[in-house]
């Protein structure tokens, strides 16, 4: 009799577990089917007004229409994007929190001695939005009329020419260090607290050159305050503002390739169906006329794909820039 009781008890336990599992399955399925049923927060790890903020806000308008929910932009600047990125890592994995990541996301593990999150375990890739070249710019009064002029001078005067950046570890800084590494030059890095003051000194001639983001220099080039010499991507830019500029690679530095990018991450553990729904919505928004008209004029080339492709892209960026940082002897802080 005790044996029969145990068997029956075991079967009852199996049935109970099966029913509980079935209920959980249908609850999760129902939640995903109803997603989203409240506003979605998009963390921008920069102050309002920059390129990343523009991307998030412009995409957010179309996403809100597609998903029929508000998209709330939450600016959390500081710490080379670490503050905002950490906020996402500690958010619930329910699809209601995202972060717009940039090149900083891929280089921070090599530039920071310790991060408050796990780069490999705390994030789920959603989508790459697009890539943008940096633009080699000099003052309108600079003696360098072409990139070749600048390259010849840089090689002939090691340590005497300088380049500005909006801070250590930014795309402008790393683009300059990559140039030094491949071209065999010794440009002196002059970091600033932001692109604005850096470009002001380039315009004034206090610094010789800057590998600046396209969004930061577009209006200054058009106004005649800066002279654009080349773009940093492997191929020429298709955007009207930059289409006539040669690449650094074709102008005497073969193999050179640098640039900026934007993409979205969710917290690790976010349900795949939710990730796919967000991917589809952001992809649709990135192809909208409103988004293209706002960003393509500033050099952004839209390149959307799958979450898996974005994850591989970021990992490749992380490995590539780690090698550059090591070669340039940039110590983690």
Going along the chain from its start, the domains and CATH numbers come out as 35-132+260-327 (3.40.190.150), 134-251 (3.40.190.10)
- Give Cα 130 distance to the centre of its chain: 9
Region 264-279: mean pLDDT is 98
Q: Which of 64, 60, 85 is nearest to 73 (CA)?
A: 60
50-59, 85-94, 148-157: least confidently modelled range: 50-59
Tokens of 295: 């960003």
Q: Name the E strands within 118-199.
A: 123-132, 134-139, 162-165, 188-191
Find out whether 278 and 129 touch, Cβ atoms under 8 Å. no
String of b and e for 111-121 (b: at least 16 CB within 10 Å)? beeebebebee
Please tell me the distance from the alpha carbon of residue 242 to that of residue 226, in angstroms, as a whole number.
Answer: 13
Please tell me the distance from the alpha carbon of residue 57 to that of residue 47, in angstroms, as a whole number.
Answer: 13
Q: What is the pTM of this model?
A: 0.81
Q: Which of 122, 128, 204, 206 is nearest to 163 (CA)?
A: 206
pLDDT digits (tens, 9 = 90+) for 77-93: 888 899 999 999 999 99
Please tell me the distance from the alpha carbon of residue 9 to that of residue 305, in angstroms, as a whole number.
Answer: 51
- Give Cα 86 distance to the centre of its chain: 15
Q: Decide if pLDDT at 27 tops 80.
A: no
pLDDT digits (tens, 9 = 90+) for 92-103: 999 999 999 999
């Amino acid at each position: 009799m005790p044996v029969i009781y145990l068997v029956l008890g075991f079967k009852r336990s199996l049935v109970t577990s099966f029913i509980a599992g079935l209920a959980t399955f249908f609850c999760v399925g129902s939640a995903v089917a109803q997603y989203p049923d409240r506003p979605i927060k998009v963390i921008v790890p920069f102050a309002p007004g920059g390129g990343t903020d523009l991307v998030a806000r412009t995409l957010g308008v179309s996403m809100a229409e597609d998903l029929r929910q508000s998209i709330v932009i939450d600016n959390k600047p500081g710490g080379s994007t670490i503050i905002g990125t950490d906020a996402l890592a500690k958010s619930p994995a329910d699809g209601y929190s995202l972060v717009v990541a940039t090149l900083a996301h891929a280089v921070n593990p090599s530039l920071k001695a310790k991060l408050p999150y796990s780069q490999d375990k705390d994030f789920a890739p959603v989508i790459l939005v697009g890539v943008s070249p940096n633009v080699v710019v000099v003052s309108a009064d600079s003696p360098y009329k072409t990139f070749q002029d600048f390259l010849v001078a840089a090689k002939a005067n090691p340590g005497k020419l300088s380049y500005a950046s909006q801070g250590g570890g930014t795309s402008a800084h790393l683009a300059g260090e990559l140039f030094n590494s491949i071209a065999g030059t010794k440009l002196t890095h002059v970091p600033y607290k932001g692109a604005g003051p850096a470009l002001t000194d380039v315009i004034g001639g206090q610094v010789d050159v800057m590998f600046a983001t396209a969004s930061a220099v577009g209006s200054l080039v058009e106004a005649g305050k800066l002279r654009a010499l080349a773009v940093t991507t492997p191929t020429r830019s298709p955007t009207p503002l930059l289409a006539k500029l040669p690449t650094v690679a074709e102008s005497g530095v073969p193999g050179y390739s640098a640039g900026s990018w934007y993409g979205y991450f969710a917290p690790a553990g976010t349900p795949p169906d939710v990730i796919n729904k967000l991917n589809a919505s952001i992809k649709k928004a990135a192809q909208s006329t409103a988004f293209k008209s706002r960003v393509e004029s500033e050099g952004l080339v839209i390149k959307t794909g799958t979450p898996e492709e974005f994850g591989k892209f970021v990992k490749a960026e992380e490995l590539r820039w780690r090698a550059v940082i090591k070669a340039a002897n940039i110590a983690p802080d």
